[in-house]
Protein backbone atom coordinates (compact mmCIF):
# COMPACT_ATOMS: atom_id res chain seq x y z
CA UNK A 1 0.00 0.00 0.00
CA UNK A 2 1.40 3.40 -0.96
CA UNK A 3 2.23 6.00 1.69
CA UNK A 4 -0.64 8.30 0.70
CA UNK A 5 -3.10 5.38 0.85
CA UNK A 6 -1.85 4.31 4.27
CA UNK A 7 -2.16 7.91 5.50
CA UNK A 8 -5.75 8.17 4.27
CA UNK A 9 -6.55 4.83 5.89
CA UNK A 10 -5.09 5.94 9.24
CA UNK A 11 -7.10 9.15 9.15
CA UNK A 12 -10.30 7.24 8.39
CA UNK A 13 -9.73 4.81 11.25
CA UNK A 14 -9.10 7.62 13.73
CA UNK A 15 -12.20 9.46 12.62
CA UNK A 16 -14.16 6.34 13.53
CA UNK A 17 -12.56 5.41 16.84
CA UNK A 18 -11.31 8.81 18.01
CA UNK A 19 -8.46 9.59 20.37
CA UNK A 20 -8.16 8.90 24.06
CA UNK A 21 -10.13 11.85 25.38
CA UNK A 22 -11.90 13.12 28.45
CA UNK A 23 -14.59 15.71 29.17
CA UNK A 24 -14.22 19.15 27.56
CA UNK A 25 -12.86 22.02 29.64
CA UNK A 26 -15.58 23.91 31.53
CA UNK A 27 -15.39 27.39 30.04
CA UNK A 28 -16.99 28.91 33.14
CA UNK A 29 -14.08 27.93 35.40
CA UNK A 30 -11.90 30.86 36.50
CA UNK A 31 -8.62 28.87 36.51
CA UNK A 32 -8.59 28.60 32.72
CA UNK A 33 -5.73 29.21 30.29
CA UNK A 34 -6.17 30.14 26.62
CA UNK A 35 -3.80 30.23 23.65
CA UNK A 36 -4.40 30.52 19.90
CA UNK A 37 -2.14 30.31 16.86
CA UNK A 38 -3.13 30.30 13.17
CA UNK A 39 -6.47 28.56 13.52
CA UNK A 40 -5.61 26.23 16.41
CA UNK A 41 -6.81 26.96 19.94
CA UNK A 42 -5.88 25.51 23.34
CA UNK A 43 -8.10 25.84 26.41
CA UNK A 44 -6.59 24.43 29.61
CA UNK A 45 -7.90 24.14 33.16
CA UNK A 46 -5.70 24.04 36.26
CA UNK A 47 -7.73 23.58 39.43
CA UNK A 48 -4.96 23.97 41.99
CA UNK A 49 -3.69 27.41 43.03
CA UNK A 50 -0.46 26.18 44.63
CA UNK A 51 2.99 25.02 43.56
CA UNK A 52 5.59 23.28 45.71
CA UNK A 53 9.10 21.88 45.04
CA UNK A 54 7.67 18.63 43.61
CA UNK A 55 4.12 19.48 42.67
CA UNK A 56 1.89 17.12 40.72
CA UNK A 57 -0.46 19.36 38.77
CA UNK A 58 -3.61 18.00 37.13
CA UNK A 59 -4.33 19.73 33.81
CA UNK A 60 -7.32 19.27 31.52
CA UNK A 61 -7.02 20.77 28.06
CA UNK A 62 -8.91 21.04 24.79
CA UNK A 63 -7.29 21.42 21.38
CA UNK A 64 -9.61 22.91 18.77
CA UNK A 65 -8.53 22.62 15.16
CA UNK A 66 -10.29 25.32 13.13
CA UNK A 67 -8.15 24.62 10.06
CA UNK A 68 -9.33 22.84 6.93
CA UNK A 69 -6.70 20.10 7.37
CA UNK A 70 -5.92 17.74 10.28
CA UNK A 71 -3.16 18.24 12.82
CA UNK A 72 -1.51 15.80 15.24
CA UNK A 73 -0.06 15.91 18.74
CA UNK A 74 2.61 13.55 20.11
CA UNK A 75 1.27 11.34 22.91
CA UNK A 76 3.97 11.98 25.51
CA UNK A 77 4.23 12.51 29.26
CA UNK A 78 4.15 16.29 29.79
CA UNK A 79 7.40 18.06 30.61
CA UNK A 80 7.88 21.05 32.88
CA UNK A 81 10.47 23.81 33.06
CA UNK A 82 10.99 26.88 35.21
CA UNK A 83 12.22 30.34 34.23
CA UNK A 84 13.45 32.21 37.33
CA UNK A 85 13.57 35.50 35.42
CA UNK A 86 9.83 35.50 34.78
CA UNK A 87 9.09 33.20 37.76
CA UNK A 88 6.93 31.08 35.45
CA UNK A 89 6.54 27.30 35.25
CA UNK A 90 5.81 26.02 31.72
CA UNK A 91 4.11 22.64 31.23
CA UNK A 92 4.68 21.31 27.71
CA UNK A 93 2.53 18.81 25.81
CA UNK A 94 3.67 17.21 22.57
CA UNK A 95 7.26 17.47 21.42
CA UNK A 96 9.45 19.96 19.59
CA UNK A 97 11.57 17.12 18.17
CA UNK A 98 11.02 13.35 17.88
CA UNK A 99 13.14 10.82 19.72
CA UNK A 100 16.47 9.65 18.31
CA UNK A 101 15.48 5.98 18.42
CA UNK A 102 11.91 5.88 19.75
CA UNK A 103 9.15 7.82 18.00
CA UNK A 104 5.98 8.78 19.87
CA UNK A 105 2.46 7.86 18.86
CA UNK A 106 0.61 10.73 17.20
CA UNK A 107 -2.97 11.64 18.11
CA UNK A 108 -4.98 13.05 15.23
CA UNK A 109 -7.28 16.07 15.51
CA UNK A 110 -9.34 16.28 12.30
CA UNK A 111 -10.19 19.52 10.54
CA UNK A 112 -12.89 21.44 12.43
CA UNK A 113 -12.74 19.07 15.43
CA UNK A 114 -12.01 19.51 19.12
CA UNK A 115 -10.31 16.89 21.28
CA UNK A 116 -10.23 16.94 25.09
CA UNK A 117 -7.41 15.48 27.16
CA UNK A 118 -6.34 15.27 30.79
CA UNK A 119 -2.91 14.70 32.22
CA UNK A 120 -0.80 15.22 35.32
CA UNK A 121 2.51 17.06 35.19
CA UNK A 122 5.26 16.77 37.79
CA UNK A 123 6.79 20.18 38.43
CA UNK A 124 10.34 20.03 39.80
CA UNK A 125 11.67 23.46 40.68
CA UNK A 126 15.18 22.63 41.90
CA UNK A 127 16.42 26.19 41.47
CA UNK A 128 14.27 27.24 44.41
CA UNK A 129 16.08 24.99 46.87
CA UNK A 130 18.76 27.51 47.83
CA UNK A 131 19.09 30.42 50.24
CA UNK A 132 20.11 32.70 47.37
CA UNK A 133 16.90 32.02 45.45
CA UNK A 134 14.92 32.43 48.64
CA UNK A 135 16.54 35.69 49.67
CA UNK A 136 15.58 37.29 46.37
CA UNK A 137 12.11 35.74 46.35
CA UNK A 138 12.54 34.03 42.99
CA UNK A 139 10.05 31.26 43.75
CA UNK A 140 7.37 30.61 41.09
CA UNK A 141 4.25 32.73 40.93
CA UNK A 142 2.76 31.63 37.60
CA UNK A 143 2.10 28.67 35.31
CA UNK A 144 1.42 28.42 31.59
CA UNK A 145 0.85 25.62 29.06
CA UNK A 146 2.72 25.04 25.81
CA UNK A 147 1.44 22.65 23.12
CA UNK A 148 3.47 21.41 20.14
CA UNK A 149 1.56 20.05 17.16
CA UNK A 150 2.39 18.84 13.65
CA UNK A 151 0.96 19.88 10.28
CA UNK A 152 1.22 18.37 6.76
CA UNK A 153 0.92 14.92 8.25
CA UNK A 154 1.61 12.54 5.38
CA UNK A 155 5.28 11.85 6.34
CA UNK A 156 4.15 10.95 9.87
CA UNK A 157 1.48 8.42 8.88
CA UNK A 158 3.42 5.44 10.38
CA UNK A 159 2.96 7.03 13.82
CA UNK A 160 -0.71 8.05 13.67
CA UNK A 161 -2.91 5.97 15.95
CA UNK A 162 -0.43 3.11 16.45
CA UNK A 163 -1.41 0.81 19.36
CA UNK A 164 1.89 1.24 21.20
CA UNK A 165 2.91 4.50 22.88
CA UNK A 166 6.22 4.58 20.98
CA UNK A 167 7.83 2.98 17.94
CA UNK A 168 11.48 1.89 18.02
CA UNK A 169 12.86 2.78 14.59
CA UNK A 170 16.16 4.74 14.58
CA UNK A 171 16.20 4.92 10.77
CA UNK A 172 12.70 6.40 10.60
CA UNK A 173 13.51 8.80 13.47
CA UNK A 174 16.51 10.09 11.55
CA UNK A 175 14.47 10.50 8.37
CA UNK A 176 11.63 12.32 10.13
CA UNK A 177 13.80 14.77 12.10
CA UNK A 178 13.99 17.53 9.44
CA UNK A 179 10.31 17.14 8.53
CA UNK A 180 9.33 17.24 12.21
CA UNK A 181 11.26 20.46 12.74
CA UNK A 182 9.77 22.07 9.62
CA UNK A 183 6.17 21.12 10.39
CA UNK A 184 6.13 21.64 14.14
CA UNK A 185 4.09 24.57 15.45
CA UNK A 186 3.64 25.85 19.00
CA UNK A 187 0.86 27.41 21.05
CA UNK A 188 1.60 29.11 24.37
CA UNK A 189 -1.20 30.14 26.72
CA UNK A 190 -1.43 33.09 29.06
CA UNK A 191 0.15 32.81 32.52
CA UNK A 192 -2.06 31.73 35.42
CA UNK A 193 -1.16 33.18 38.86
CA UNK A 194 0.04 30.53 41.35
CA UNK A 195 0.99 30.55 45.02
CA UNK A 196 4.31 29.03 46.08
CA UNK A 197 4.16 26.69 49.09
CA UNK A 198 7.62 25.45 50.01
CA UNK A 199 11.04 26.24 51.46
CA UNK A 200 12.57 29.70 51.09
CA UNK A 201 9.27 31.45 50.55
CA UNK A 202 5.56 30.89 50.54
CA UNK A 203 3.13 29.84 53.21
CA UNK A 204 5.40 27.48 55.17
CA UNK A 205 8.41 29.82 55.30
CA UNK A 206 8.88 30.85 58.98
CA UNK A 207 10.60 34.11 58.01
CA UNK A 208 7.74 35.01 55.69
CA UNK A 209 5.23 34.16 58.40
CA UNK A 210 7.01 36.49 60.85
CA UNK A 211 6.96 39.30 58.28
CA UNK A 212 3.20 38.97 57.97
CA UNK A 213 2.67 39.35 61.73
CA UNK A 214 1.64 42.86 62.94
> Read out DSSP for 93-144?
ES-SS--SSEEE-EEEE-TT-EEEEEEEEEEE-GGGSSHHHHHTT----EEE
State how far the alpha carbon of 67 is from the alpha carbons of 5, 38, 187, in Å: 22, 8, 14
Kindly state whether residue 157 falls inside one of the protein's structural domains. yes
Domain range for 140: 3-205
Q: Is the pLDDT of residue 203 over 70?
A: no
Kindly state whether residue 214 falls inside one of the protein's structural domains. no
pLDDT tens digits, 31-42: 899 999 999 999
Kindly state whether residue 210 falls inside one of the protein's structural domains. no
Report pLDDT for 151: 96
**In three state form, how does the secondary structure of 133-194 look?**
HHHCCCCCCEEEEEEEEECCCHHHHHHECCCCCEEECHHHHHHHHHHHHHHEEEEECCCEEC
Tell me the mean pLDDT in the region 92-107: 94
Kindly state whether residue 107 falls inside one of the protein's structural domains. yes
Kindly state whether residue 115 falls inside one of the protein's structural domains. yes
Report pLDDT for 126: 62
The secondary structure of residue 87, as a DSSP letter, is: T
Q: Compute how many other C-beta atoms are within 10 angstroms of the C-beta atom of residue 157.
A: 19
Kindly state whether residue 213 falls inside one of the protein's structural domains. no
Tell me the mean pLDDT in the region 91-107: 94
Kindly state whether residue 7 falls inside one of the protein's structural domains. yes
- Measured CA to CA, the distance from residue 167 to residue 159 in angstroms comes to 8
Kindly state whether residue 211 falls inside one of the protein's structural domains. no
Considering its fold, how many domains does the chain have in total?
A: 1
Amino acid sequence: MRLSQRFAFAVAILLLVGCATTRPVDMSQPRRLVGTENGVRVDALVVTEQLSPSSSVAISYDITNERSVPIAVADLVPESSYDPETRTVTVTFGSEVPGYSFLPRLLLIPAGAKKSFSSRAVVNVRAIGSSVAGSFGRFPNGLRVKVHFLTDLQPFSPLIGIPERALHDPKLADALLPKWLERNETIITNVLPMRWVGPFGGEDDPAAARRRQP
